[in-house]
Structure 1
Amino acid sequence: MQHRTVADLMTRDVVRARRDTPFKEIVELLARNDVTAVPVVDELDRPLGVVSEADLLRKCSAQADPSGHAPLPHPEAWERAKAAGVRAEELMSAPAVCARPEWSVVEAARSMAAQNVKRLPVVDEAGRLRGIVSRGDLLRIFLRGDDAIRDEITRDVLGRTLGLAPSGVTVEVHEGQVTLGGSVEVSSLIPIIERLCRNVDGVVSVSAHIGYRIDASRTSPTGA
């Protein structure tokens, strides 16, 4: 089975800022390129941090409400520093949480969840920026068609990996949801089939209704 990597999904033409890029220019970069954040890089194009719309909006949220309806906030020291920032290095969230091109979708998604970030700059072996991958990019694997998913399960999972006859296990896929039927020789093979199917790109869920001839839980090992 072949899994798509971060390199397959990332945006390669990355809009970036430098340490000294001013506040207004960053806002213009976001608007002009229809993005919600930009990595901030050093002179060697290595990511230092990321400036997002949320970082920039602290400038607004720290101000008094002209209508007088919203109470004046009492931000933390780091929030006050960001609100007062005028250059990228003062506004960015740092350090940058980065990914590598060879990472799997699972690895990138787990990193985003663990670090509570929405995007990851992608760097090469030298730490230089090579792309950026967002949550939306990772979710693109679920745009894969049902026919492609079914073909991979039938050909690669059941055939090449497990060596099962095409007529043994039936595969139906609807909206990424896989339903397995048919029968196998030994019951212990069923959870293996389920696990391998779940690992196929684009699979949302797996439901197995597979029969078996031998119940592995009832067989006892033979003694010497």
Structure 2
Amino acid sequence: MSAVVENVMTTDVAAVNENASFHTVAELLISRGVSGVPVLDDDNRVLGVVSEADLLAKEEFKERYYGDGYRPPLRARIRHATGSEGSGYRKSLGETAGALMTSPAHVTTPDAPVVSAARLMDRYGVKRLPVVDADGRLAGIVSRRDLIKVFLRPDEDIEQEVREALHGRADVAVADAVVTLSGTYAEHSQAVTAVRLAENIDGVVAVHDELTWKHDDIADLPVWGGA
């Protein structure tokens, strides 16, 4: 059975209300040792995420507010000159979490497969995802580190699940989450399916295929197309 987000997420979540001050957000990031936190409305629904990068926007545009001779980075000066400052400049004016946050937040749900959460993180380039219930209320948070937990399953557990998935039709050995399959199937396609089933087991790092077969039904398939 595939692991779901609920199995690996953290329920003790550092989060802030949308009206929390800049100072409160900064203190929370430092005290909890995190780089970003969900921003909630008064009903505990996730509105967005505020990160270190969002707070640093104020430093990037510091010259405009403090006049202390601070010289922004080149990319910031280009945006100033072209008028294409966008959300970075808007966030530099922010005094509350709601004004500083990136919204809407990329979220997942407790029953989502772990692999789906990993793909979301990769697609959007984020390190963590707020986990919300059916009403959009915060239920937890899942990070890249949490997702790695599925690879820490004991070899014995992985071996048992692989054997069950293959109905005992192959010899299974597992060492450091690497599965080795051996034995003989009647058909080549059955051996291919066995490898794919093993690869899909949570915690499996790799599958070494040492299977053989009596009949190559794949080679017998007609080839379509051609000249």
> TM-score with structure 2 length normalisation?
0.84
Q: What is aligned with 2:19?
A: 20
Q: Distance in 2 between matches of 1:196 and 1:177?
A: 14
Q: Distance in 2 between matches of 1:153 and 1:141?
A: 15
Once the 2 structures are TM-superposed, how far is the Cα of residue 194 of structure 1 from its aligned partner? 1.1
- 2:168 is the alignment partner of 1:157: no
- 2:44 is the alignment partner of 1:45: yes
Distance 1:90 1:183, change over 3 A: same
Where 1:51 maps in the other structure, the secondary structure is strand
Q: Distance in 2 between matches of 1:41 and 1:217?
A: 55
Q: Distance in 1 between matches of 2:4 and 2:73?
A: 45
| Cα deviation code 1:75-116 (max 9, x no counterpart) | 423111112221101110100111111000111112222222
Where 1:209 maps in the other structure, the secondary structure is strand
Q: What is aligned with 2:92?
A: 83
Alignment partner of 2:136 out of 127, 141, 144: 127
Q: What is aligned with 2:123?
A: 114
Where 2:166 maps in the other structure, the secondary structure is helix
Q: Distance in 2 between matches of 1:66 and 1:197?
A: 61
Distance 1:67 1:49, change over 3 A: closer
Q: What is aligned with 2:153?
A: 144
Q: Distance in 1 between matches of 2:108 and 2:24?
A: 26
Q: Distance in 2 between matches of 1:115 and 1:68?
A: 31
Unaligned runs of 5+ in 1: none
- The AA in structure 2 aligned to 1:187 is H
- Map 1:192-207 → 2, pairs under 5 A: 192-207=193-208
- Map 1:145-224 → 2, pairs under 5 A: 145-154=154-163, 156-159=164-167, 164=169, 169-217=170-218
Q: Is the 8 A contact 1:183 1:211 kept in 2?
A: yes
- The AA in structure 2 aligned to 1:199 is N
Q: What is aligned with 2:3?
A: 4
- 2:73 is the alignment partner of 1:73: no
* CA RMSD after TM alignment: 2.4
Identity %: 40
Unaligned runs of 5+ in 2: 80-84, 223-227
Q: Distance in 2 between matches of 1:200 and 1:127?
A: 30
Distance 1:123 1:68, change over 3 A: closer
| Cα deviation code 1:20-49 (max 9, x no counterpart) | 101111111112222221100111111000
Distance 1:66 1:147, change over 3 A: farther
Q: Is the 8 A contact 2:60 2:73 kept in 1?
A: no
> TM-score with structure 1 length normalisation?
0.85
Once the 2 structures are TM-superposed, how far is the Cα of residue 140 of structure 1 from its aligned partner? 1.2
- The AA in structure 2 aligned to 1:181 is S
